[in-house]
């Protein structure tokens, strides 16, 4: 009888929870509907993460109305910056990001806990707590991975693009015209997309310096920040932009060479780990194994 009572209790809890979310969905306020709007007024693009694509309807129906009630300005600015530097402004807004954290970090663990209690599944509490922590961290991990991918692409393309900018400026184009040529020719390049965003901002009335600085904020890498600072200073001081771009390209190539040397030295040190863990023990067994056997059996071979 006790098991039936527990099952009924769990069913009542789930039913109450479902009724609450249904009513919340039906009676959303205008401010909650505004959370679905993006800065561009367009629908979000399809995410590269299947988990986010799967979660989006659940977030909009169950957790978005709670996410908009989180008004902590510092927390929202931190998330906004994380979305910007990861290049996810077309995929997520701040409210969806918080909604994902609530969905995977709070709602699903609560449902698991209720099911575990109602059906007596025997799942240990640390498993559900761990699931909640991992779910809450999922948007952060996804944003960090995208930021790292963008950084790798930008660092790889920047020296080559700087050479193209230098040649185009030497041929008589200004910096914006040289950027436009790169945007027209390059495909599937993060840096080329950012150059396109800079040109778009300038056409919309933003100053060249502000558009370049905003690109540096979006990419949040030392190489791009240095490049933007040098270009802005060159325009302010009247220095030849072609010479500045050439010097910057040479400096970046030198830094890239130094990074490659450091990576090679680190790889030679990391190779010692499998050597000590796997190869050296096998060599020790081959060399000292017969000696140990002879010592144990007194040389009789029995």
Three-state SS for the chain is: CHHHHHHHHHHHHHHHHHHHHHHHHHCCCHHHHHCCCCCCCCCCCCCCCHHHHHHHHHHHHHHHHHHCCCCCHHHHHHHHHHHHHCCCCCCCCHHHHHHHHHHHHHHHHHHHHHHHHHHCCCCCHHHHHHHHHHHHHHHHHHHHHHHHHHHHHHHHHHHHHHHHHHHHHHCCCCHHHHHHHHHHHCCCCHHHHHHHHHHHHHHCCCCHHHHHHHHHHHHCCHHHHHHHHHHHHHHHHCCCHHHHHHHHHHHHHHHHHHHHHHHHHHHHHHCHHHHHHHHHHHHHHHHHHHHHHHHHCCCCCC
For residue 8, pLDDT beyond 70: no
Q: Are residues 118 and 156 in the same domain?
A: no
pLDDT the model gives residue 32: 45
Assign 4 a pLDDT band (cuts: 50, 70, 90): low
Q: Are residues 105 and 163 in the same domain?
A: no
Determine, yes or no, domain membership for 105: yes
pLDDT the model gives residue 301: 47
Determine, yes or no, domain membership for 142: no
Q: Are residues 119 and 174 in the same domain?
A: no
Q: How many domains does the chain have?
A: 2
Task: Kindly state the average pLDDT of the residues 204-213.
Answer: 92
For residue 24, pLDDT beyond 70: no
Share of the chain above pLDDT 70, in %: 84
For residue 165, pLDDT beyond 50: yes
Which CATH number is 163's domain given?
Answer: 1.20.81.30
Q: Are residues 22 and 101 in the same domain?
A: yes
84-112 pLDDT, tens digit per residue, is 999 998 889 999 999 999 999 988 888 88
Determine, yes or no, domain membership for 287: no
Determine, yes or no, domain membership for 186: yes
For residue 29, pLDDT beyond 50: no
33-71 pLDDT, tens digit per residue, is 444 444 444 567 788 889 999 998 889 888 888 899 999
For residue 83, pLDDT beyond 60: yes
Which is more confidently placed, 125 or 147? Answer: 147
Structural domain including 6 reads 2-123
232-291 pLDDT, tens digit per residue, is 998 888 888 888 888 888 888 787 778 777 877 787 778 878 878 888 888 888 888 888
pLDDT the model gives residue 43: 62
pLDDT the model gives residue 13: 62
Chain mean position to CA 167? 34
Mean pLDDT estimate for the chain: 82
Determine, yes or no, domain membership for 103: yes
Q: Are residues 112 and 179 in the same domain?
A: no
pLDDT the model gives residue 149: 93
Assign 120 a pLDDT band (cuts: 50, 70, 90): confident
Determine, yes or no, domain membership for 72: yes
Determine, yes or no, domain membership for 145: no
């Amino acid at each position: 009888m006790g098991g039936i009572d527990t099952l009924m209790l769990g069913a009542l809890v789930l039913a109450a929870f479902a009724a609450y979310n249904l009513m919340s969905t039906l009676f959303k306020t205008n401010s909650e509907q505004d959370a679905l709007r993006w800065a561009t007024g367009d629908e979000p693009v399809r995410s590269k993460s299947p988990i986010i694509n799967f979660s989006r309807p659940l977030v909009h129906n169950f957790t978005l109305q709670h996410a908009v009630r989180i008004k902590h300005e510092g927390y929202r600015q931190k998330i906004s910056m994380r979305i910007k530097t990861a290049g996810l402004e077309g995929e997520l807004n701040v409210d969806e990001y918080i909604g994902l954290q609530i969905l995977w970090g709070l709602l699903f663990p609560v449902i698991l806990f209720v099911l575990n209690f109602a059906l007596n599944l025997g799942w240990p509490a640390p498993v559900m707590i761990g699931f909640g922590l991992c779910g809450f961290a999922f948007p952060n991990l996804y944003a960090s991975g995208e930021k790292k991918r963008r950084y790798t692409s930008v660092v790889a393309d920047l020296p080559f693009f700087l050479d193209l900018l230098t040649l185009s400026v030497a041929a008589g184009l200004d910096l914006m015209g040289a950027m436009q040529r790169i945007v027209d020719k390059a495909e599937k390049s993060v840096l080329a997309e950012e150059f396109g965003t800079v040109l778009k901002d300038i056409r919309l009335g933003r100053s060249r310096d502000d558009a370049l600085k905003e690109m540096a904020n979006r990419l949040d890498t030392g190489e791009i920040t240095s490049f933007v600072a040098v270009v802005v200073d060159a325009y302010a001081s009247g220095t030849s932009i072609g010479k500045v771009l050439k010097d910057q390209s040479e400096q970046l190539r030198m830094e890239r060479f130094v990074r490659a040397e450091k990576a090679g030295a680190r790889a030679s040190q990391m190779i010692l780990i499998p050597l000590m863990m796997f190869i050296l023990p096998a060599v020790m067994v081959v060399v000292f194994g017969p000696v140990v056997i002879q010592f144990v059996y007194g040389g009789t071979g029995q």
